[in-house]
Structure 1
Amino acid sequence: MAELIAHGRAVTNVFDLIGDLENDITKSIAWCLIKCPRLLEKCIEDLLKIKINSEDTIVRYQVSEADKGITDLEITDNQNFYVIIEAKRGWILPGYSQLQLYSTREGFKTNPAKHKAIVSLSECSEEYAYRKLPRIKDTRLLHLSWKSIYEMVDKVRFESTHSQKYILDELKRYIGRIMTTQNQNTNWVYVVSLGKTNAEVISEKGKSFESDITYLDIVRKYHKYCCPVGGGKGRWPKEPLTYIAFRYDGKLQSIHHIESYVITDKLHQFIPEIPDVILSNMHFVYTLGPAIIPSKEIRVGKKIVMSNRVWAHIDALLTADTISDAMDISKKREESYS
């Protein structure tokens, strides 16, 4: 079969053609909701705990109201329920100002529906979202995770027609791809500095706590590495890593394939020496594969200072004289490909 490539990526389902930005994802979901009535009904039933008739329902995409922003989705029957959905990609939640603005929309306030809610839709788990979502006076805030929609597809598939099953299967593949997953077809390595000081964490209330274990010993003792999801100074990656390398004492020490990972805001359950507190932001906890030890000494190089984190191709990292050289070689390669 011929292969379709769009924007450098293989297209495996029709929704890949739309794209994977937040607006693209919202459009894809909206289309599936109107084409697969049991998915629409299941979605509202799970959120509001009521039964609905999809034939009486209107799904609106990007509704604008003067000085009140643009909503991603609005779903209503204008009688029994009215839901505004704000979709985000990744482990992100809408903030207070956005949700408060939506709660004051005239269309939302004056609608006669008995059951009304503003729903955040993102990769965040329901448990995490309900701890972190702000409170808006007189407004019901709910959360729906991509994982929940993924699971809903399986539940409603057998109640759907043949053509609807095809759309649902396409949606499942699409959601599976946009959910946080490793890129297994990469040779990029993220090179980080491992400190020999005790690890520190910041709680959700902004208080700093020092642990009883060093950053280096977390790797040595537990074969794990923890870092924020797209946060912190210098911005950590939002997507999970495939390879990670550690440097200390002025040289490259090891490279590891990431065997598995979880996303959490409590590190204590994985590293007992870290205080049992809820963190200010979500963290990746990576389980490391066996160490790949360089066959020669590879120094850091002049371009990397302090605890700078850099990217390099794995083969360049193992053969160059310095990490700086490996970084330059990798960049030049990528430029030649484009």
Structure 2
Amino acid sequence: MVAVGVDYLPESPHYLVTFVAPIADEDRSQSSRVQSFRSTSLAEAFAIASHADAHVYSYGKLLVVVFGEEAARQGVSAVMNDLFKHTDLRVESYVAVTLGTARKLLTTIPAEGQRVGLFMKDMLDRAKMQQDSPPTTLEIFSSRMMTPGMDASTTLLTPIGSTDPRPPEERGADGGGGDRGGTGQGTTAEDIQIVGMASWQGDRLVGTTTLSQQQYFSLAQGTSHDFLVQILLKPDPRFVPETSRIIIAIERAKPSWETQIIAGVPHFSLKVDTLVSLVNYQGRVDLTKDENSEEFMRILSESLKQGITDALLTVSSFGSDPIGLGQFVRVQYPTFWNPKMWTEVLKTATFSIEVKLGIKRIGIHITRFEPKEKMP
């Protein structure tokens, strides 16, 4: 078993569980076996799959667990309990949420017909290395799910494009049933992309952000090293004469938090010390001059401040705490701390943000060497 998808349906049995297992053949680029089962639990679906194929399935090679959006909003503690009953469970497996259903995502045909489980693993590995959307493992997810004053965040995926329908093989058994309830075959998507962050509160998904918001949130979280961030600036003929968008590379970002309780409301002060490189600067002013560079750094700092503030307010409005702000309150204000009320208290929190920004290698100019045409 290399991937597991869990969807929730309104009629009983409520779960539609999709398993992806490799096909043992010489052509290792072929699609994996994808099967879906209706069941009352993940454990029951696992037993049905093993009985139906007479194969010994295990979670020892598990790469990705994907929750459909509705399944994640219903709560996943029962699914997590079923997973952790298996002693061979690979806790380094990634956890992700997909817009729509996990079944649709796991029946995609990735580029060049790769195995969908391995394709997603590679994609999330790249996201981890590039730090544009660091994935969460089962180990981290379960730990944050059970710790008061701390919540999980996971990568948000979606299938894109479309191709010919390729319905998964579906089976049922007593108590599990087939594909009842009109789930339908749908259209198989041909690729998968990362579109943002899924924010959790305990074992439930409570909100999603865009990829841009996720990147700004990571600046506050301290997980943004090596990010490439696209910033939308106000039109300015000096610094952005041709486009209002500029891309910066985050060389360093060190957040520091301070916590206060003001009139019964938590207030968090964040200072972010960041060093960036300019990827596509096409301004008309010379940034080696102090007055120009200081003005441009002020503009970039203000833009980052606005983006971070928006991301923090969005995530806290969900009652989700992926940064672990509740832990700051628990340690510094134990008499104020109430784990049962923290979700609602967090929604009232206020933030003040300060961004200290420096630009690396301002004076470097890139020279392009174009090949000359060969003489006849």
TM-score by length of 1: 0.27
Considering Cα pairs closer than 8 Å and 6+ residues apart, tell me whether 1 or 2 has the greater RCO.
Answer: 2
Q: Tell me the TM-score normalized by structure 2.
A: 0.25
